[in-house]
């Protein structure tokens, strides 16, 4: 039996390790599709831009130039003919070259507070991953009494771990970090099935339904958990920044969590039900997973100095992010105390100060070794930060040139969108469709600037429709190319493409319904809008 166990583990752990999207083995058909998509985008983007500029439109020249450049950038984002952040930078450069606005005005959004929130949050997440604090947290949840005795509980617990970590750590990084643990647990379950004679000799452990459920919970749980906080996923900060830019209404960290928490809770419950029904585990009661988790926890040992320092920086940052919201509840948003506290504890400033603690808290004072060094910080996702900046730039220019109002008025008339519900439903569907074909980040950058002017033109507060588009942009559950975390679990070889599509479609539809029903209620309850 030991030999059989080794064979199962080798097939699961040896051949299915984490690979980034660019490193994954694609089938010939997938390679042809990806190559064709990029090639088409390379020629289609400038063609669409030039065609739009040549149209005899009765709008100001600045609006027409901005519209043509933005259409070309959207094509580059969707087809990924060039890296997504570069597509945005190309557009920004053309805006200045074509004289739509002065360079200083165009580039001003790169100094946005939200950019610094991104930078600080990414550095904190980098420390959690480097020093193993996130992995320790995962094993702590999985070791809770009774969790390791049931396949359903293990899958749900794994989803809880993923969702909570993804609220503060990159969705993709969370999935990549937890993937080896998930495969280790699957190897234990596969061995148990073989020992009990519940599978044929020589079975393929990568084709177990329980494995598909576990892996999809890992990917989808990250997307759901990423909605919980403004820093949980790039689309959140992009959407919030665009909303604040358009409405002038600030959405605090605490307000965001108050709106998102019930939605995330319901969506997670729906996710668990859908995955366990569509991918019913081959066995209900299991033995050995609890022992595996205990052994892995033992290997981690006691909390290291670096982990303790990371925890201190994390707790300090989150505490000061939430303080303005607590003050608002106690003193009210109209009070002088709230104005002072929220201005001083700006989220971007708190984020960079919290991240700075990682370079001040020593691991070894004698050797002047600190929790992080700059080479660690340099590894954060600077591309997403650049993309965010370019997205905010286009959002600002849409408003400044009047193109947003033009788009909104014409779209509202053409589509007959005159109510909050109709515009919100359109926003959700559009964001989900776009996110299935391109990154969630690009989806938010594309869809939210479209929805805001449509709502304004219809005489409706754009907060709810734009926030719905922001939430829906984090969807994209059908295909490996929809999100990086989908690509990670698909690359494990455990999830067949048909299984991902079937589960993803179900969750897309149910998740859209949850957003449409709950979001307006939570926005009203929190007092936004």
In a domain, 344, yes or no: no
Inform me whether the pLDDT recorded for 3 exceeds 50: no
Average pLDDT score over residue span 324-333: 74
User: Has residue 332 been placed in a domain?
Assistant: no
By residue count, the chain amounts to 529
User: Which segment, 169-183, 189-203, 367-381, 429-443, is predicted with the most confidence on average?
Assistant: 367-381
pLDDT digits (tens, 9 = 90+) for 396-417: 787 678 886 777 677 767 777 7
Q: What is the DSSP string of 214-259?
A: HHHHHHHHHHHHTTSSTTSSHHHHHHHHHHHHHH-----HHHHHHH
- Position 483 pLDDT exceeds 90: no
**Residue 201 phi, psi (nearest 5):** -60, 140
Residue 296: partners with Cβ closer than 8 Å, 6 or more residues away: 139, 181, 184
Token pair listed for 271: 């996710």
The predicted model gives 477-486 an average pLDDT of: 74
Residue 202 is predicted with a pLDDT of 61
Identify the residue whose tokens are 């234990």: 188
Higher pLDDT, 525 or 289: 525
CA 25 – CA 487 distance, rounded (Å): 11
pLDDT of the residue at 467: 94
Question: Cα separation of 504 and 481, whole Å?
Answer: 12
Range of the domain at 203: 2-299+379-526
Who contacts 75 (Cβ-Cβ below 8 Å, separation ≥6)?
41, 44, 45, 48, 81
Number of folded domains that form the chain: 1
Determine, yes or no, domain membership for 282.
Answer: yes
What does the DSSP assignment read for 360-390? TSEEETTTTEES--HHHHTTS-HHHHHHHHH
- Mean pLDDT of all residues belonging to the chain: 81
pLDDT of residue 16: 38
Give the pLDDT score at 24.
43
- Tell me which residue has tokens 């033009």: 406
Residue range 326-355: mean pLDDT, rounded: 81
Lowest-confidence region among 86-90, 133-137, 305-309, 467-471? 133-137
pLDDT of residue 23 exceeding 70: no
Model pLDDT, residue 206: 67
Q: Is the pLDDT of residue 468 over 70?
A: yes
Q: For residue 199, what pLDDT is reported?
A: 64
Q: Is residue 371 in a domain?
A: no
Task: For residue 132, name the pLDDT band (cuts at 50, 70, 90).
Answer: confident
pLDDT at residue 120, as a whole number: 82
**Token pair recorded at residue 31:** 């390679």
Q: Note whether residue 502 is domain-resident.
A: yes
Cβ count within 10 A of residue 109: 22
pLDDT at 17: 36
With respect to residue 314, please indicate whether it lies within any of the assigned structural domains: no
Cα gap 386→119, rounded to integer Å: 11
Residue scoring higher pLDDT (191 or 303) = 303
Residue 21: Cβ-neighbour burial (10 angstroms; 0-12, 13-18, 19+): middle
Residue 22: the pLDDT is: 44
Cα–Cα dist 43/51, whole Å: 12
In a domain, 236, yes or no: yes
Using only C-alpha atoms, the chain has a radius of gyration, in whole angstroms, of: 24
pLDDT at 425: 92
> Does residue 263 have a pLDDT over 50?
yes
Largest CA distance in the chain: 77
| Separation of alpha carbons 157 and 134, rounded Å | 15
pTM: 0.68
122 found inside a domain:
yes
Range of weakest confidence among 240-249, 282-291, 492-501: 282-291
- What mean pLDDT do residues 335-358 have? 85
Q: Is the pLDDT of residue 183 over 60?
A: yes
Rounded to whole angstroms, the Cα distance separating 53 from 67 reads: 8
């Amino acid at each position: 039996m030991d030999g059989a166990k080794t064979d199962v583990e080798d097939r699961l752990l040896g051949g299915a390790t984490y690979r980034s999207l660019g490193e994954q083995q694609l089938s010939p058909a997938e390679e042809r599709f990806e190559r064709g998509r990029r090639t088409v985008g390379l020629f289609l983007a400038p063609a669409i831009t030039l065609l739009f500029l040549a149209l005899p439109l009765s709008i100001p020249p600045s609006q027409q130039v901005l519209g043509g450049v933005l259409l070309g950038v959207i094509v580059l984002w969707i087809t990924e003919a060039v890296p997504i952040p570069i597509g945005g930078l190309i557009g920004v450069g053309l805006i200045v070259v074509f004289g739509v606005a002065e360079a200083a005005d165009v580039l001003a959004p790169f100094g946005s507070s939200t950019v610094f929130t991104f930078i600080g949050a990414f550095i904190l997440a980098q420390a959690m991953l480097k020093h193993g604090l996130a992995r320790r947290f995962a094993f702590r949840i999985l070791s809770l009494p009774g969790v390791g005795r049931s396949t359903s509980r293990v899958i749900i617990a794994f989803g809880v771990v993923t969702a909570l970590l993804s609220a503060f750590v990159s969705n993709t990084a969370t999935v990549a970090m937890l993937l080896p643990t998930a495969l280790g647990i699957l190897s234990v379950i596969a061995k148990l099935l073989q020992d009990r004679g519940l599978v044929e000799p020589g079975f393929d452990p990568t084709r177990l339904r329980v494995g598909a459920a576990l892996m999809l919970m890992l990917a989808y749980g990250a997307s759901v958990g990423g909605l919980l906080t403004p820093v949980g996923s790039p689309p959140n900060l992009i959407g919030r920044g665009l909303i604040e830019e358009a409405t002038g209404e600030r959405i605090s960290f605490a307000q965001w969590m108050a709106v998102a928490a019930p939605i995330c809770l319901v969506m997670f419950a729906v996710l668990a039900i859908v995955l366990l029904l569509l991918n019913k585990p081959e066995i209900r009661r299991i033995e050995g997973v609890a022992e595996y988790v205990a052994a892995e926890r033992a290997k981690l040992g006691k909390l290291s100095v670096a982990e303790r320092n990371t925890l201190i920086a994390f707790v300090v940052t989150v505490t000061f992010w939430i303080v303005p919201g607590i003050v608002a509840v106690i003193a009210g948003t109209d009070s002088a105390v709230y104005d002072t506290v929220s201005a001083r504890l700006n989220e971007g400033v708190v984020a960079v100060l919290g991240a700075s603690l990682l370079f001040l808290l020593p691991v070894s004072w004698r050797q002047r070794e600190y929790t992080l060094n700059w080479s660690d910080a340099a590894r954060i996702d600077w591309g997403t930060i650049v993309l965010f900046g370019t997205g905010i730039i286009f959002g600002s220019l849409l408003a400044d040139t009047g193109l947003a109002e033009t788009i909104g008025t014409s779209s509202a008339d053409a589509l007959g969108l005159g109510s909050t519900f109709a515009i919100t439903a359109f926003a959700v569907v559009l964001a989900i469709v776009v996110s299935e074909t391109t990154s969630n980040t690009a989806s938010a950058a594309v869809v939210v600037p479209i929805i805001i002017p449509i709502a304004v033109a219809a005489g409706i507060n754009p907060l709810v429709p734009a926030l719905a588009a922001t939430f829906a942009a984090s969807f994209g559950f059908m295909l490996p190319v929809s999100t990086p975390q989908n690509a990670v679990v698909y690359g494990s070889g455990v999830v067949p493409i048909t299984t991902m599509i079937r589960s993803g479609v179900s969750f897309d539809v149910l998740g859209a319904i949850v957003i449409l029903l709950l979001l307006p209620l939570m926005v009203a309850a929190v007092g936004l809008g």
